[in-house]
Amino acid sequence: MKNKFAALTNPKTVALIGATERPGSVGAGLVENLWSGREKRRLFWVNPNIDQIKGATSYPSILKVPQSVDLAVIAVPAEVVPVVVNECCQKKVGAMIVVSAGFAEIGAAGQPRQDEIVGLARRAEIPLLGPNCLGLLRPQIELNASFAPFTPPAGGIAFISQSGALMNSVIDRSGLENYGFSSLISYGNGADISLVDLLWLADRDQQSKVIAVYLEGLDHGREFMEVAREITPHKPIIILKAGRTELGQRAAASHTASLAGADQVYRAAFKQSGVLSAGTLEELFDWAKALCWLPRVKDGVAILTNGGGIGVLATDEASDQGLTLSNLTEATAARLKESDCFPREMVFNNPLDIIGDADTERYRSAMEILLNQKDINTLVVIQTKQTMTDIQANMEAIVDMAKKHPAKALISVCLPGRLSQPAINWLESHHIPNYSDPARALKAARRLIY
């Protein structure tokens, strides 16, 4: 398939129609975000009521812009959008993003307007994203064609969302959770460019390692399954499906004009297509982080902890997830017993409780011995903060072990707090995920199993 979306995802010239510097407006948010990437592309402002924006000419119409335009971003009242889209078609822009609301999501009053702009775009063979969407961001190339609060860090997660407001919250949260994005695309009503198109784009983006999706409904179910089946063997797709209940389906219909459909039908389609189905927003990004940063592995898990109780919780969750806790071999048990790092009263089982006074040398030795056992493919390292626990040094030991055993998955469990958060941030800067709860860690570990 030819990439007809190049003007959308990597534009060299962008025109913002509805540009303004009025504080608190969508147009002002778009101006600021596009301005942040001004060194990468040429920007043009279009607003017939303003002479200058950011010291540059504001044109009365896109037809007056003196250069060809790759991407036109449209942020004007809904009733004006058809006129603007028609002018963009006359201008022969490469792609359009319509962030304006007031289309099929409001029902019969907006559907004809949506049909009109889609008809114009398709006759001109110009891809149209939206309407009723946040826009598009690609942090790696400093493209923020959205009214998001800021541009999040670059990384390996491609996030596709029908909801723009939810995407804004995810962007805000990403700074605390330390994950980054190859792209973020809000497609709103999906009137022209569909989820199927966006999955195709994310798959072909070499920066993306995993695709995370917030979905309310599908109009192209068969095409979705075909594309998902093609992608999931080499790039994971995780979907959080909203509208599981009758009330939720009604809400979805009024939000983005989505055909939500029966939850069991979607779950069956996801399973047949190899798609992972997340139950919460937290799971969506917990799993995305793990799949982005860690290798896919065979079953076989070990749990290392300095607290017996939290080790039991982790064991329960491993069982609930259907994970296999590897029995320690005689050779592994012998190495542990022979080491001077472990007290004589220790019991050498899996989970391995190295007791509350464990120092970094004990953690490091235990990790090394466990990871040398062939059928241990995932190691969950749990720390509870004791007086003698050096969390930063322990995190450094985890990173060292991950480098030494790159084919194995190391996952940290450490509750964020005043003392531990800096060390957690350091660990995740080295692409080792940390989770605040063993249940989150083991659910993520389950998704790494192939």
> What tens digit of pLDDT does each residue of 78-135 get?
999 999 999 999 999 999 999 999 999 999 999 999 999 999 999 999 999 999 999 9
In a domain? residue 75: yes
Is the pLDDT at 260 greater than 60, yes or no? no
Mark whether 163 and 306 lie in a shared domain.
Answer: no
Out of 291, 310, 325, pick the residue that ends a domain: 291
Mark whether 316 and 413 lie in a shared domain.
Answer: yes
Mark whether 247 and 311 lie in a shared domain.
Answer: no
In a domain? residue 1: no
According to the model, what pLDDT value does residue 250 have?
58
Mark whether 263 and 307 lie in a shared domain.
Answer: no
**% of the chain at pLDDT higher than 90:** 91
According to the model, what pLDDT value does residue 1 have?
42
According to the model, what pLDDT value does residue 152 have?
97
78 phi/psi in degrees, rounded to 5: -55, -40
Out of 291, 314, 345, pick the residue that ends a domain: 291
d(CA 444, CA 448): 7
Query: What pTM does this model have?
Result: 0.94
Q: How many angstroms separate the first and last alpha carbons of the chain?
A: 29
Out of 256, 291, 326, pick the residue that ends a domain: 291
Residue 191 · residue 167 · CB < 8 Å:
no
d(CA 72, CA 93): 7
d(CA 293, CA 274): 20
Mark whether 299 and 267 lie in a shared domain.
Answer: no
Count, residues in the chain: 450
Long-range pairs for 170-178: beta carbons < 8 A, 24 or more residues apart: 170/281, 170/285, 171/137, 173/285, 177/285, 177/289, 178/289, 178/424, 178/425, 178/428, 178/429
According to the model, what pLDDT value does residue 4 have?
86
Read off the pLDDT of each residue in 438-445 and give the average, rounded to a whole number.
98
Residue 220 · residue 192 · CB < 8 Å:
no
Arithmetic mean of pLDDT over the chain: 95
Domain range for residue 13? Answer: 6-291
Mark whether 197 and 231 lie in a shared domain.
Answer: yes
Q: What confidence tier does 59 reach under pLDDT thresholds 50, 70, 90?
A: very high
Residue 81 · residue 100 · CB < 8 Å:
yes
Is the pLDDT at 61 greater than 90, yes or no? yes
Please, where are the H alpha helices in 257-376? 263-273, 281-293, 308-320, 330-338, 360-371
Q: Which of 361, 376, 362 is nearest to 409 (CA)?
A: 376
Mark whether 251 and 105 lie in a shared domain.
Answer: yes
In a domain? residue 209: yes
Read off the pLDDT of each residue in 279-298 and give the average, rounded to a whole number.
98
Residue 196 · residue 225 · CB < 8 Å:
no
d(CA 434, CA 441): 8
Q: Which element (helix H / strand E) includes 228?
A: helix 221-231
121 token code pair: 């775009």
Q: What is the CA radius of gyration of the chain?
A: 25
According to the model, what pLDDT value does residue 128 have?
98
d(CA 159, CA 156): 10
Is the pLDDT at 419 greater than 50, yes or no? yes
d(CA 414, CA 441): 10
Q: List the beta bridge partners of residue 278.
A: 240
d(CA 431, CA 292): 9
Q: Which of 84, 80, 82 is nearest to 15 (CA)?
A: 84
Mark whether 274 and 367 lie in a shared domain.
Answer: no
Label residue 403 exposed, middle or buried (CB < 10 Å: 0-12, 13-18, 19+). Answer: exposed
Summarised one tens digit per residue, pLDDT across range 367-398 is: 999 999 999 999 999 999 999 999 999 999 99
Mark whether 267 and 330 lie in a shared domain.
Answer: no
According to the model, what pLDDT value does residue 2 have?
53
Mark whether 277 and 314 lie in a shared domain.
Answer: no
426 token code pair: 């350091």
Q: What confidence tier does 403 reach under pLDDT thresholds 50, 70, 90?
A: very high
Domain count, the chain: 2
According to the model, what pLDDT value does residue 409 have?
98
Q: Which of 383, 343, 356 is nearest to 367 (CA)?
A: 383
